Amino acid sequence: MKLVFLGTSAAQPTPERGMTCICLVLDKEILMFDAGEGAQVAFQKAKLGWNKQMRIFVTHLHGDHCVGILGLLQTMSLQSRTESVDIFGPPGIDEFLAANLKILNFGLTFPVRIIRIKEGLVLDDSGYTIHVCEAEHSIPAYAYLFTEKDRPGRFYPEKAKNLGVPEGKLWHELQSGKEVKVQDKIIKPSDVMGDKRKGRKIGISGDTRPTKKLEDFFNGCDYITFDSTYSDTLKDKAIETGHSTAKEAAELAKRACVSNLILTHFSARYDNAEELVKEAKTVHDSVIPAKDLLEIDIK
């Protein structure tokens, strides 16, 4: 599992940074959070695969977070994609996409399903869930939480062999949590497997002020990516425009016991994120500045 940053700038692009787009790449699927203009350009550079199973989650309907879906769908069609794409977003996402797909006469080569989100659980997949929480921005905006389901512990074939369990059906039963009987001896899954592996939690803030509600929502996350549009010297501007400063992001992450904070969505006024990282590090020990095409392995 890895996070891949395709765009890390706020509101307008810079020569080094594209518009907001973050991918959580799983074994068999890509979860994309927001797609600002040019998302397909970075998607191509990151070599994520045009026909991989994919879901897109939009935090809010500002152009720098959703206009890129159009180009992405267009390029995917030109690449002869056949896999369907599910797009989750706030009310209005359906009208935005329907109108554009009709006017631009896309000729999609694959099905697109649009799902309106509201607070709470929006997706319960076999390996993970996605929850949504209201953020605080200049228009209705939402944050997302990816929670991986706990996975069974590692299976040790040598232990099973030593206990006389023959390979095949009985191994599968042990792996799926059932006890098995071998020559009148009961073998428990814990005899041949390691501890249950706890699921990982990753939060995506979108554009927002830091709120108590988001602090609770992101509690205990392994990683969060958080709106860090401004440095603390421009806190007034952050309040006025419904964004956060890097320091505020760090304070929220600290209070929420988040292990690793990723700063992103930087104002184009910053040539680099040095100043923002510095102020966030006065509050939180693990601060990572996002940059375009950065990949972070989620351990």
Smallest separation, CB 11 to Zn ion (Å) = 7
Q: In what order do the strands lie in the sheet with 260-264?
A: 120-124, 128-134, 142-148, 201-204, 223-227, 260-264, 287-289
In the bound state with Zn ion, the residue whose beta carbon lies nearer, of 12 and 51, is 12
Handedness of CA 270, 275, 276, 277 (dihedral sign): positive
First to last CA, the chain: 8
Name the nearest CA neighbour of 261 among 238, 233, 288.
Answer: 288
Least spacing, CB of residue 60 vs Zn ion, in Å: 6
Q: How far is the CB of 140 from Zn ion (least distance, A)?
A: 11
Interaction with Zn ion in 174-233: which residues (CB under 5 A)? 207
265 contacts Zn ion (rule: CB under 5 A): no
Amino acid at 38: G
Rounded to whole angstroms, the Cα distance separating 55 from 112 reads: 10
Assigned token pair, 4: 């891949």
Q: Which is nearer to Zn ion, 231 or 244 (CB)?
A: 244
**Residue (141 or 224) nearer to Zn ion, CB:** 141
CB hemisphere CA count around 190 (13 angstroms): 1
Rank residues 260 and 267 by Cβ distance to Zn ion and give the closer one.
267
Task: Check if 64 is active-site.
Answer: yes
Q: How far is CA 202 from the centre of its chain?
A: 6
The least distance separating Zn ion from the CB of residue 254, rounded to whole angstroms, comes to 24
Catalytic residue selected from 64, 207, 227, 292: 64
Assess 62 for contact with Zn ion (CB under 5 A): yes
Rule CB under 5 A: is residue 243 a binding residue for Zn ion? Answer: no
**Which residue stretch of 57-65, 155-163, 185-193, 216-224 sits at the interface with Zn ion (rule: CB under 5 A)?**
57-65
- Are the CB atoms for 278 and 253 separated by under 8 Å? no
**Residues marked as catalytic:** 64
Please give the residue ranges that form the binding site for Zn ion (CB under 5 A).
Answer: 62, 207
